[in-house]
Structure formats: structure tokens, C-alpha cells
Amino acid sequence: MTGSWTRFKRRLIGSPIPSAEHEHQLLPKVLALPVFASDALSSVAYATEEVILILALAGALGLGFVLPISGAIALLMIVVVTSYRQTVRAYPQGGGSFLVSHDNLGLRPAMVAAAALLTDYVLTVAVSVSAGMAAITSAAPSLLPHRVLLALGFLVLLTVANLRGAREAGVLFAGPTYAFVVIVMVTLATGFARCLGGSCPQAVSAGAELAPEVAGVSLLIILRAFASGASALTGTEAIADGVQAFRPPKSHNAAMTLAFMGAIAVTMFLGISALARLFDVRVTEETVDTYGTVLSQIGRAVFGTGAGFVVLQAATAAILVLAANTAYQDFPRLSSILAGHRLMPRQFRNQGDRLVFSNGILAVSVLAGLLIVAFGAQVSRLIQLYVVGVFTSFTLSQTGMVRHWLRSREKGWQRSVVINAIGAAATGVVLVVVIFAKFLHGAWIVMVAVPLFVWGMAAMRRHYLWVASRLRQVEPVECAHPSPHRVVVLVSRSGKHLERALRFARLLHADGLETWHVREPGDRRLRVHWQERHSDLPLTLLDADPDGV
């Protein structure tokens, strides 16, 4: 049974990689971008849609605020990316929000940051896979009743891909990620070109009636739309958590990758929001399954239902599913760091055969699968739980960096303090807005889950400290009169192996060292050699009979 399981495991995830090969598993920037930035890049596929879904509650009048809100979110994204570039340079060992908070704010805030991030990573997997299913069902509505099973199927594929190793996952996911960026950029360029040419196409939902569910565009509606659209920032912290996965110089390459990711994400997000307004895209939670997602409507308006539209939907579905890969990289790494601080079971520190933290990968898969089933793989329901965790970690990390610069006073610290202080203030305000706007719509679940995570970490740490204290109390065993031991070397023939065995036997400082040899025809040469080289050791000669010695 064990042999069959081993063979199956080898076929599924590959043969073990020697630990000495770890350096060869590190990622160049071209592979690190799809591995760590797929979450942030994919968020733009549904961030504009989440803004429109909330503003549509105020009717057609509310859609006029899509661009101002998108602009504010893009500005916030630039601030956060700039702040995290400071973090990866100051903390090249990785660890992100947890280590920054731990070193500068203390253990308790660090535990809150870690709990918020772990919660966010699980939600990232659930939301990304569910959003990918939304893209698939927009192109093939007949699959809508099966989206939960489809989501779980893709979850299994992601799990297996990541168990095979970080480098293999990077090679596997690079194509879909870059394909998504290219097709979205082509879609945006074509759409803007047609509008500038005077023939701006209209979305399939253009002119659809939006019956107001609330009176006017209130501040609460604007805040809720901003909070939902802020999902575009999710994944920004992933690179800071995974600096150790980059090739040297690690912090430089991580900072460069973070800058590339920010520039691409801001461009795509603002472009999609602008085309959504130009094409008069109108969706509500009731009509999004009928008309399709915002990005799919833009693609249909630009390309029709031809090859361009199919490629866009396929690439969108792929990037949304693969965006979960960011969490598959960072949840296990963060779990390993927490286990090293005695805040999670020590099994999370163990690397599997493919030099990845297998237990962390399996844990995030199981938790995300439970969420997908519980919420029916519906993005609009899952998104309400999103963002609280990530902005909690943003705020704690940036606050910790402010204190870091004030204490270290390194070269250029004044500029760094200003950058991180702006980041902390901005993300702190957004966190308050998100909690206020989303509390009754599902954010309360996260606000319960994070304290439970913190309580669990504290309990785990108390347990390990108690075990350590008990082990220290064990009195040493005295061995005043050690019993003598004897060493026997069985000699068969002369050679290097015999010399090594005798050398090792002498190093044992045995009370008695004996050498035995079983007589056999033609062993005279051995006995002559023994007299010449080891005359100080008596060689005991044994006779062999048909039944043994």
C-alpha cells in the first residue's frame, strides 16, 4: 500500500528535489511577476464591476461617480505600492506585515497583522476562483448551475500545481498571466481608438433601466462603492511577504517587480473604468448573470463575439483562477514564519519533497473550498468579506515602517518616513471606511475571524512555551559508571573499506576492539596483509561449516 501511494505521489507532484537545489528554485523577475502579482493584476477584472454594482443602487445617476471613485482607488494603489517598495528594501528577509509589526510594534499587533493576512489569503483563493467561474459562465451560461463543482475542480488543480514546486508553478502560470495583460491592453487600445474615431461602441446593457433602490447618491453609497472597488489593491502585499523567493539581489528584484505590477494594474483598472462609462455598461446583482461581467461586455462591444472576445474571456478566467496562486505562495510562507515564532503548529515549517510548504498549501485549499461551498461561488457575496483583512495588514505594516525609520535614522530616512506615514494614514482611513460601509454586509464575519485567529495563535504560543519550560525542568540523568562496550569488526578482505572501518572503530574509544575473520580458501593474502599493517590487533580466525560459523 505504501509503495503504491509513493508511486502515485511521484506521478502527481514529481520526484523529490534535493535541498541543495533550493537556489535553483528561486524566481527571476519574469517568473516572479505572474507568481506574486497575479492576484493584484486579476483584481482589475472585477474591481470596476464591484464599484458599478453599488452605485447602480442609486440608479443611472450613480454611475456618474464611477470615474472619480476609480481615480481615488488608483491614487491609493500608487501610495500603497510606493510604501511597500520601502518595506521590501528594509526587510529583505521577507515576512511583510508580520515581521514589520513584530519588530516595531510588538507581538500583539504582529499577531493581528498575521491573522488579517491569513484570512485575506483564504478569501483571495475563494474570490479568485469564483470570479474565474463567473468569466466562464459569462461565455457559457449553460455552465452556471455547475459553478461550485467547477470552482472546486480548479481548486484541486491549483493545489497540485503548487505542490509540484514554486518554479514549476511560475512557469505554468506565466503564459496565462502575460496573455491576460496583453489582451486587456489590446482591448483598451482598440476601444479608445474606436471612440476617438467617432464610432464608440455600446455595451449590451447600454440604456438598461436602473430603478433606484435608494434616494439619491448618498455618502454611504459612495463609501460602499469605494470600499468594494478597493479590492483592486488586494495582492499588493504579496511581494513583500515573498522576497526570499526572488533571485539575488532579492530586495532590488522584489522592488522592481512591485513597480511593474503597480504600473500595469493602475493602467488596466483606469482603462476598464473609463471604457465602462464610454460604453454605458449597466449591471446590477440581478442582471449581471444575464448581461455578463463588465469586462466581458467591454470585450463583446470591442470584438463582437469573435475570436478576440473568446481569447479575452479565456484569459480572464485563467488569470482569475491563477490569481489564487499568490495566496498559495504566501499563506504557506507566512504560516512557516509564524510556526517559527511558536504561533502555529510546527508542522507548517516542514518543507515537502518539492521544497514547498506542503501543509500550508493543503490548509489554504481546504479553507477556501469550504468558503466556496458556503457562498455558492458567488463573487458578489464573497467580496463583502474581502478587503478588511488586507487593509488591516496595510495599516499595521506602514505604521511599523514609520517607527522603523524613526528608530534607525538611516540615510534618506526623512523621505522614507513621509512615504510610509502617508501610506499608513491613507490605508487607515480606508480601513475605517471599509468597516463602516461593509460591516452589515458581511465584514463582521472577518472581524470575528481575525480575533479568533489571534486567540488561536496566543494559545499555541502558550502551549509551546509551557512544553519548553517543562523540558527545562527535567533533571539531567547522571551516568557515573558507564557500562563498558566492545566493538567488533568483521574482516572479509583487505582494501580501503577495511581501513575506514578500523579507523572509525578506533575513534569510538571502545573498551575492547576485536577483529574477526571467517576462514575461506585463498585468504592467505589477507592474513599476510594483516601482519604487515595491523600486527597490534589480534585477528580472530573462525571456521565455517555448512550450517554457518
Single-letter amino acid, residue 52: I
Q: What is the CA radius of gyration of the chain?
A: 31
Instruction: Of 166-170, 368-372, 489-493, give the range with the top mean pLDDT.
Output: 368-372
Spatial CB neighbours of 308, under 8 Å, sequence gap ≥ 6: 183, 186, 187, 299, 302
Q: Per-residue pLDDT for 117 more than 60?
A: yes
What pLDDT score does 22 carry? Answer: 46
What pLDDT score does 68 carry? Answer: 96
Between CA 276 and CA 201, with CA 69 as vertex, the angle to 5 degrees is 10
What pLDDT score does 371 carry? Answer: 92
What pLDDT score does 545 carry? Answer: 58
- Whether residue 461 contacts residue 343, with contact meaning beta carbons closer than 8 Å, is answered with yes
d(CA 183, CA 199) in angstroms, rounded, equals: 21
**Average pLDDT over every residue of 418-427:** 88
**Average pLDDT over every residue of 106-122:** 91
Residue 341, sorted as left (phi over 0), alpha (psi -120 to 50) or beta, turns out to be alpha
- Spell out a b/e string for 427-451, using b for 16 or more CB atoms within 10 Å of the CB, else e: bbebbebbbebbeeebbeebbebbe
How is the beta sheet containing 512-518 ordered, strand by strand? 486-491, 512-518, 539-542
**Average pLDDT over every residue of 368-396:** 85
Q: Per-residue pLDDT for 417 more than 70?
A: yes
Widest Cα–Cα separation across the chain: 109
Q: Cell 490569481, residue? A: 323
Cα–Cα nearest to 57, from 301, 284, 229, 354: 284
Q: Per-residue pLDDT for 20 more than 60?
A: no
What pLDDT score does 299 carry? Answer: 95
- 475 band by pLDDT with thresholds 50, 70 and 90: low
- Omega of the bond leading into 521 within 30 degrees of 0 (cis): no
Beta strand ranges found along 248-377 (DSSP E): none
pLDDT tens by residue, 288-311: 778 888 999 999 999 998 899 999
What pLDDT score does 7 carry? Answer: 60
- Whether residue 207 contacts residue 280, with contact meaning beta carbons closer than 8 Å, is answered with yes
**Average pLDDT over every residue of 371-389:** 82
- 8 band by pLDDT with thresholds 50, 70 and 90: low
Q: Per-residue pLDDT for 24 more than 50?
A: no
Spatial CB neighbours of 249, under 8 Å, sequence gap ≥ 6: none
β-bridge partners, 512: 486
Q: Which three cell numbers stand for residue 388?
A: 478588511
Question: Residue 195, Cβ neighbours under 10 Å: how many?
Answer: 15
d(CA 340, CA 321) in angstroms, rounded, equals: 30
Spatial CB neighbours of 35, under 8 Å, sequence gap ≥ 6: 27, 166, 169, 170, 173, 242, 245, 325, 326, 329
pLDDT tens by residue, 327-363: 887 888 889 889 988 999 988 887 766 567 788 999 9
Cα–Cα nearest to 136, from 292, 276, 275: 292
* H/E run at residue 542: strand 539-542
Tell me which of 50-54, 83-87, 95-99 is least confident. 95-99
What pLDDT score does 19 carry? Answer: 47
Mean per-residue pLDDT over the chain, rounded: 83
**Average pLDDT over every residue of 184-207:** 93
What pLDDT score does 514 carry? Answer: 83
pLDDT tens by residue, 209-261: 887 777 778 888 898 888 888 878 877 887 877 787 788 888 889 899 999 99
Single-letter amino acid, residue 162: N
pLDDT tens by residue, 176-193: 889 999 999 999 999 999
